[in-house]
Structure 1
Amino acid sequence: MNKIIILIMISLFLFTTISAQEPVPIPEISINIGGDIPSPDTLIPTLEILLLIAVLSLAPSFIMMFTSFMRIVIVLSFLRTALGSRQAPPNQVLIGISLILTFLIMSPVFNDIYQNAIIPYTEEKISYTQMFENTWNPIKRFMISEIVAHKNQDNIFMLASSVKREINNINDTPPEILIPAFALSELEISFKMGVLIYIPFIIVDMVVASILLSMGMMMIPPVMISMPFKLLLIILVNGWDLLIGGLIRSFQISGGL
């Protein structure tokens, strides 16, 4: 037993002696002061990632306020209300159609931004400030063209006078005034289109209500009887094609498709 204890002690002594002669490896830490310094005209990768995350998080607001999405989704909502069907088509379908039509209508603007802003910046041909400017200019031209085409320049001057700003040329409108003016213009246009959509369906409601009243069937809701006739009307006149085609033609940029 004593021999075993002595052998264990000798082995431990030899192990500690050998390990003491070998230095313990320590991780090396080096600081390169004279390394490559990024150009002041480009963003560092961390800021680029943060900018990309911010853009993705605000993408729904950008699509709603800077593109044709607002007008399309409001007009489609008016059509559903005029038909008298509360959930047909459902909200998911209306939003999906609006997104697809938005990408179709805005494709010239998106291509302009990609060709003149994103590609030159990734190839380090322009600075990030020039990239932001090249991104904003096509969107600005789209907004101004829609406002001018539908004679809604008064929205710009109204907002400018409200904040006591003087604008002599519409093309020089700052973003803080142009963006809400474009939103007001889109609301006015969509409501005008909504009125035109309502007129034929109101006529159907009035005819059905008059027939039911003359027949003495006052206990039957006219909406329940008129909705099938509204659906038949929109099918006979190919209403979806007329509506979608009218929406696309209502945008000036659609001429470039």
Structure 2
Amino acid sequence: MSRSRRHRTVRSWIVAALTLGIAGVASAQVPAEIMGQVLKQDYSPALRNFVALSLLSLVPVILIGMTSFTRIVIVLALLRHALGLPQTPPNSVIVTLAICLTFFSMAPVLDRVNQDALTPYMTDEIPAQVALKRGSHPIREFMISQTRESDLRAVLEMSRTEPPKSVEDIRFSHLLPAFLLSELKTAFQIGFVIFLPFLLIDIVAGAVLMALGMIMVPPATISLPLKIMLFVLIDGWVLVSRALLSSYWT
């Protein structure tokens, strides 16, 4: 690989890492002037690789804090408990499915980041500072669209900060926890709705056993196979996945 191509590959990794790490940078309240000076420096390839790998370490935190992963994984975990199977499917399967659904739900945002920031930067059309600014806009708009005004107001009150005059004035350090609070609330609301039909099956099974005088038989012995059978017959995993994705697309 030629030196120029290797430098472009390194730069693409840096922009991708910086785009994903914008929340961590902003939450640390790094001034824009300092960040701009850092991006303007012509560092050696070895140092650029070090910076890229360092910022890539923020990806797990960003996956949880800036995407739809939190809502999806909580709903899937609550669904597992509603079925009465706290360990089935395993955590690895739940997390993998949540990551796949997160990718689907975030696809429009990622496409905009790639089109507006990453691709122009890789073709040397825009500098890194402009690419970082453009790449943060779609993610910021997504987070704002999914954040409740009451949650943002609560975060501002906890931080003892004056309310922003416009949407553009909302800081990432305030938007990030407000977004997470909104995602948690929405996830538990969806989980409550999912729990209701399974709870009804448990109540009916317990009432039938009590009416038959079978008090010593645990209701879960009867209700668990029924819940699994009904869930499979209605293709429950597909229905829940579609409902989670539609909650972002509508």
Q: TM-score per shorter chain, which class?
A: 0.7 to 0.9
Q: So what's the TM-score if we normalise by structure 1?
A: 0.77
Tell me the residue number matched to 1:179.
176
Task: Identify if the C-alpha distance between structure 1 residues 232 and 244 changes in structure 2 by more than 3 Å, giving closer, same or farther.
Answer: same
Tell me the residue number matched to 2:69.
69
Q: So what's the TM-score if we normalise by structure 2?
A: 0.79
Deviations 1:181-207 (A, max 9, x none): 000000000000000000000000000
Task: Identify if the C-alpha distance between structure 1 residues 133 and 218 changes in structure 2 by more than 3 Å, giving closer, same or farther.
Answer: same
Deviations 1:68-120 (A, max 9, x none): 11111000001000000122111111111111111111111112112222222
Tell me the residue number matched to 2:79.
79
The CA deviation at 1:133 is 1.2
Consecutive unaligned residues of structure 2, counting only runs of 5 or more, are: 1-37
Tell me the residue number matched to 1:243.
240
Give the fraction of aligned pairs with identical amino acids, expressed as a percent.
Answer: 36
Tell me the residue number matched to 1:158.
154
The CA deviation at 1:49 is 1.3
Tell me the residue number matched to 2:97.
97
Tell me the residue number matched to 2:204.
207
- The residue type equivalent to 1:124 in the other structure is D
Structure with the bigger percentage of helix: 2
Matches of 1:42 and 1:126 in 2, distance apart?
15
Consecutive unaligned residues of structure 1, counting only runs of 5 or more, are: 1-38
Alignment length (residue pairs): 211
Matches of 2:109 and 2:41 in 1, distance apart?
24
The CA deviation at 1:158 is 1.3
Cα RMSD (Å) = 1.8
Of the candidates 188, 194, 200, which is equivalent to residue 185 of structure 2? 188
Task: Identify if the C-alpha distance between structure 1 residues 186 and 172 changes in structure 2 by more than 3 Å, giving closer, same or farther.
Answer: same
Matches of 1:51 and 1:40 in 2, distance apart?
11
Matches of 2:42 and 2:136 in 1, distance apart?
18
Runs of 4+ in 1 over 3 A off after TM superposition: none
Q: Is the 8 A contact 2:39 2:128 kept in 1?
A: no
- The residue type equivalent to 2:95 in the other structure is I
